[in-house]
Chains A and B, each alone.
Chain A
Amino acid sequence: MEHAEGQQQHPVGLYFKIWILLFVLSTFSYLVDYLDFQGYLRWTLIIIFMLLKAGFIVAIFMHMMWERMALICAILLPPLALGVLISLMAIEGDTTFLIRSIVFG
């Protein structure tokens, strides 16, 4: 890297561009609600805008894209385990809903 002693030195203009980009993406995700998109279009757009925003914050603002591979792996790989929790709880929630629908009519 061009910076010395592990410093994260980048041009200020880069932060401005990401800042504006996050503004635009937030406006888009607000418009999804304001224009009342429904169904799969709504969920897809919400998820895309959310992941883009999260990605830019972690990569640029938190400087993750300039870190060494050891740190990137140590921080970004463990949260993948949460995917298991979310999938299991989604199945569990569906089962509970089904049973409640049958029992409580």
Chain B
Amino acid sequence: MTQSSQGSDGESLSTNENLDNTSASGVQGLVADWASDVEVFKDVPWGKAMMWIFLLSDTFIFTCFLTGYMTVRISTTVPWPIPSEVFALTIAGHHIPLVLIAIMTFILITSSGTMAMAVNFGYRKNRKVAAILMFVTALFGASFVGMQVFEWTKLIVDEGVRPWSNPMGAAQFGSTFFMVTGFHGLHVSIGVIYLSIVARKVWRGDYEHTNYEIIEIAGLYWHFVDLVWVFIFAFFYLW
């Protein structure tokens, strides 16, 4: 596109918009001015674009936490506790490494699967099935948090891990573990509440006039929580 045609197009556009928007002033003017921006993400509901941008910011937060964990683990001269042994459980006389973490991983993946199905049934306008699948997803999420509470209790009470010290090795183990998994657990807990609220509204038929993109938006958040767990599982428990 040439410079001149662009300029003339822009001018005619801006004069039109000036006529529409300058009538409002103050806070209304502020809103009107921002709302006059052209649409960037075509064919994408605004709520979905905003959820993606929120998840992008969350990606930076979780990466900062995991990078902090990496830095203290690299720089400590004290041996790091072996996760495979710290998180082992003895079930019926058998010593199984990481078994609870493996179950938690499978539960979160299953909840992601039911969430994807809920989105699908929402777009098929089958709101009852979609709502039930969302409740099932929230239940899986709640059981995940329950197991995390069990894991934390075992670590704090039985193994004596504290944010400032632990009997197994480097003190930084406790602080990074509680911070990273705690922040993730908080995300899961908020997700359970968020999904329950949206599922109830879907069940009631509050979104009948829409395309049910709200379920996809809630689903994006839930899949992100699963996504973060994939990285925590690899870097914290397996490394």
Spell out A's residues near B (CB within 8 Å): 5-10, 12, 15-16, 18-19, 22-23, 26, 29-30, 32-34, 36, 42-43, 46-47, 49-50, 53-54, 57-58, 60-63, 67-68, 70-71, 74-75, 78-79, 82, 85-86, 89-90, 92-94, 96-97, 100-101, 104
Q: Is B209 an interface residue (CB 8 A)?
A: no
Partner of B233 from A29, A93, A94 at Cβ < 8 Å: A29
The A contact surface, by secondary structure, is helix
Residues of chain B lying within 8 A (CB to CB) of residue A32: 238
Partner of B98 from A16, A30, A47, A67 at Cβ < 8 Å: A30
Q: Which of B35-43, B145-153, B200-208 touches A?
A: B35-43
A50: min CB distance to chain B, Å: 4
Residues of chain A lying within 8 A (CB to CB) of residue B110: 19
How far does the alpha carbon of A9 sit from the alpha carbon of B119 in the complex, in Å?
9
Residues of chain A lying within 8 A (CB to CB) of residue B68: 89
13 contacts between A and B (CB under 8 A): A6-B43, A15-B117, A18-B113, A19-B112, A19-B116, A34-B97, A50-B230, A57-B112, A63-B216, A75-B56, A79-B59, A89-B71, A97-B76
Greatest chain B CB density within 10 A among A34, A54, A57 is at: A57
Partner of B211 from A5, A23, A100 at Cβ < 8 Å: A5
Partner of B234 from A34, A46, A62, A100 at Cβ < 8 Å: A46
Q: Is B194 an interface residue (CB 8 A)?
A: no
Partner of A30 from B53, B70, B75, B102 at Cβ < 8 Å: B102
The size class of the interface chain B forms with chain A is: 35 or more
Give B13-51 interface residues, CB cut-off 8 Å to A: 40-45, 49
B59: nearest chain-A partner, CB-CB: A79
Q: Is B164 an interface residue (CB 8 A)?
A: no
How far does the alpha carbon of A42 sit from the alpha carbon of B239 in the complex, in Å?
8
Contact B230 A54, beta carbon cutoff 8 Å: yes
Residues of chain B lying within 8 A (CB to CB) of residue A29: 233-234, 238
Contact B71 A93, beta carbon cutoff 8 Å: yes
Known A26-B109, A61-B116, A100-B75; judge A82-B44 contact (CB<8 A): no
Contact A57 B223, beta carbon cutoff 8 Å: yes
Known A6-B45, A33-B97, A46-B238; judge A15-B113 contact (CB<8 A): yes
Residues of chain B lying within 8 A (CB to CB) of residue A9: 120, 123-124
Digitize B189-205: 1 where CB-to-A-CB distance is under 8 Å, 0 elsewhere. Answer: 00000000000000000
Known A30-B102, A78-B56, A92-B71; judge A8-B231 contact (CB<8 A): no
Residues of chain A lying within 8 A (CB to CB) of residue B63: 79, 82, 85-86
Known: A9-B120, A57-B227. 19 other contacts (CB 8 A): A5-B43, A6-B44, A7-B211, A15-B116, A22-B109, A22-B113, A26-B106, A33-B84, A33-B97, A33-B238, A62-B219, A71-B41, A71-B52, A75-B55, A82-B67, A86-B63, A90-B71, A100-B75, A100-B77
B109: nearest chain-A partner, CB-CB: A22
How far does the alpha carbon of A16 sit from the alpha carbon of B42 in the complex, in Å?
29
Partner of B230 from A53, A86, A104 at Cβ < 8 Å: A53
B117: nearest chain-A partner, CB-CB: A15
Contact A94 B74, beta carbon cutoff 8 Å: yes
